[in-house]
Each structure stands twice: as C-alpha cells, then as structure tokens.
Structure 1
Amino acid sequence: MAIQISPSILSADFAHLADEAAAVENAADWLHVDVMDNHFVPNLTLGLPIVESLLKAAKLPLDCHLMIEDPDRWAPAYAEAGAGSVTIHAEAAKAPVRTLRAIRAAGARASLALNPATPLESYADLLPEVDMLLLMTVEPGFGGQKFIDLVLPKIRKARELVGGRDAAVWVQVDGGIAADTIERAAEAGADVFVAGSAVYGAEDPAAAVEALRAAAEKAAAG
C-alpha cells in the first residue's frame, strides 16, 4: 500500500474552493472534505450541495468525512453524488453495517472513523465491512489542533488487525498531521494522511504535499 495524502479543504479558502483543489491536484491522492453539522461536533462547515459542486470542479476524488448526527440517513447520498470515499463515525451510526454496505453499493469506498477515546477493539468485527479505518488524532470539530500522541498505540493495533501494509483495508489518520508528526504516524502503521493547515497554510501547497509524502514514505520504510 503506497502512502497517500488527502489535503483537507477545511483549511482552504472557501471562497475559492475550485482553485484550492487545483493547487494540489498534481501532488495529492484525494481531497478531504470535512462535513460538520454543529451537532455531532461543535462546528458547522459544508454539506452535500457544496460537495456536488466541488465534484464538478475537482479532478481529485473526494474523501468525504461525515462528522454529523444520523449518518445512516445522509451518508449514502454522498456516495451517490460521486464521492470516492465516505466516512461515517462509529459514535454516531446506529446501523453501521447497513450504512457501510449502502455506501459501497453506491460505488464509494466505505470508511469507519473512531474518535481518540473510542476503543478500537469494540469495532474490530466490522473490519470486513470497511475499506478504510480512520483514527482521529485530535478531537473532531476544528482544524489546527495538536496531534494526540496517545493515539499512536491505537494506530499500531489497527495495523495489526487489518494486516500488513499491503492489506485491503487502509488506515487513515486525521488531525495535527504536519512535518513533525507524520513520521510518527507512518511508523506506527498509518498509510493515508489527512493534512489541512500543513498543506493550505503553506506558501506552495503542492510542495507541502510532496514533502509530507516523502517524510511518511521514509518512516514507513523503517
């Protein structure tokens, strides 16, 4: 499994999202879209209409991370709209198996997210239903937070559960990923990295993506 970088538009200029997407399209693998409803998390960002518009403008596949209440109701629509990957939170889903299967049936990769304090072991049986496991390395809701090192053992355990780096299930990390943290996360076993301010806060976002990828690849190689 090659290292993948998914820049988060949460840190981009919302007035110029198409341009911000284009700025990383030749360097990144995905475009991470943080959907927040001010209920599951204390922040309000964007929703399906913006995603539908962005799908028309962005060349990168969209990695939609739903930090919302009732993802069982809303998640399939993001897949049906054309998102490449749709993530639901274990803490919010009431019928995760049904919802993950609906996401897959609509043509997207299905992903399950766990907050820092949510035990990984409680959801190990769901791994056959997911294409990616997202481990939050900050409390969800806001960009620019500090990486929580206490999640590193969880990343290592996730890598053990899903198998080696050629496993079918990807391990994604989101929160505080920057030049000084991506190596630790990669060494622990993550292979997909969400980075917001580290990319869009840089003078050259594409160069920032390439630097993050190089650091992660070096750490993953041991």
Structure 2
Amino acid sequence: MDTTAPNAPSKAADTAKDDPPLVLLDLPLPFIPKAAIFDCDGTLADTMPLHYAAWREVLDLVGAPLPVFPVEQFYAWGGVTAKEILHRLNTIHGLHLDTEAVAHRKEMAYRQQIPTVRPIEKVVAEARRFYGVCPIAVASGGMRMLVQETLETIGVGDLFEIVVGSEDVKDGKPAPEVFLTAAARLGVDPADCIVYEDAPAGLEAARRAGMRAVNVVDYL
C-alpha cells in the first residue's frame, strides 16, 4: 500500500460549479473502469455511527452544548474533515474550540472503536472485483493512519495501491483535490476514474474533479 507524499493534482480538472452535473452509475458497475477511487467512511466501512459517537463524546468533554452538532448535521457534512467541521461549528455557534486539539481528540476517540468496524459488503465486493484488474485507490477526508487501520480491520488493507487522507491535501471535500491526487498517483486521467461515495461533499468533489460516481447510499 503506497502512502508516500502525493503527486500534485492537475488544477485544470477542478471544474466550476456551473459545469455539467455529476454522472451517476449503478452498483455493481456494469463494466470494469480504467480506475476506481473509493471513499472509506460510510462507503467501504460502516463507520459513520462510530464517528458521530466520537464527536458527541469529545464535544461533551470540551463543554460544547448538545444541540451544537445534531446527527442530521453530521450526516449532511459527511466527508468533510474534522478540522473543517470544527471551523464551521465555531463560526455558526460563536464557539472558540481549538480546531487542531479537538480534531485530534475526536480522531483518537474514534480510533478506540476501530476494532468494532464492519465492512459494507456490497461496496467491498466491488473493490475485490477490481483488485488486480484495474488500479484502485482510497480517497478519504479522514486521517490516513485511521483510514489504513479501518481498511485493515475490514480485511481490505492490501487491496488498494494508493491511500490519500486529509493530511495529503490542502483542501478537503467538496474540493476535488483528494480525488485528483488519487488519480494523479494512480497515473490515470480523472475522466477515466469512477468514484464510490456516500456523502454529498464527496459526490460534489467527484463532480468537480470531472469524474463519474456511484452513490452507494442508493444501494444500501
């Protein structure tokens, strides 16, 4: 599994908001793509409830009021980095949370739950189908270390040539950088990559990257 520093993505593929809409494909994909890029949390691994529990635990410990991050907002912001979530919470609610420190505490709270993570079998089956047939990568808004541990826990750690995490890019989803970085490191044109995603921010990132996508939520 390659986890070295990513190649610089092509800025040309960062399409404007008024460009064509995202093309959505079926699961299972009816063809073998030139490359496939998978989100991790909520796509390959059933981790979203565990992440929310970690958020609630840590926000309670730092004294944030319970209504500050309702579960509906959590899912609406799926795919967004922990630091960006905290920045948004600070802005919306007039809080002064230390984004670096609280994000780290939240990620470590989630890490304690990784041994309990289960795979999302329909999506994992796609990754296994493509393994050794076409290049495949993971591109996540989470810390790369935690993504790797999650992939190992669900038994797919050896499938992916590339793992791109939040520390590998400047701008997280819905910016396209994480997917463009994965495509660059796979050596495949973004237009030839198929993205597997569950979250609005991730699907928007795929659209801006000029990639087609499978919205796995429609099939789970």
**TM-score of the superposed pair, with normalisation by structure 1:** 0.31
Structure with bigger RCO (C-alpha 8 Å, 6+ apart)? 2
Q: Looking at secondary structure, tell me which structure has more helix per residue.
A: 2
**TM-score of the superposed pair, with normalisation by structure 2:** 0.31
Q: Looking at secondary structure, tell me which structure has more strand per residue.
A: 1
Of structures 1 and 2, the larger Rg is shown by 2
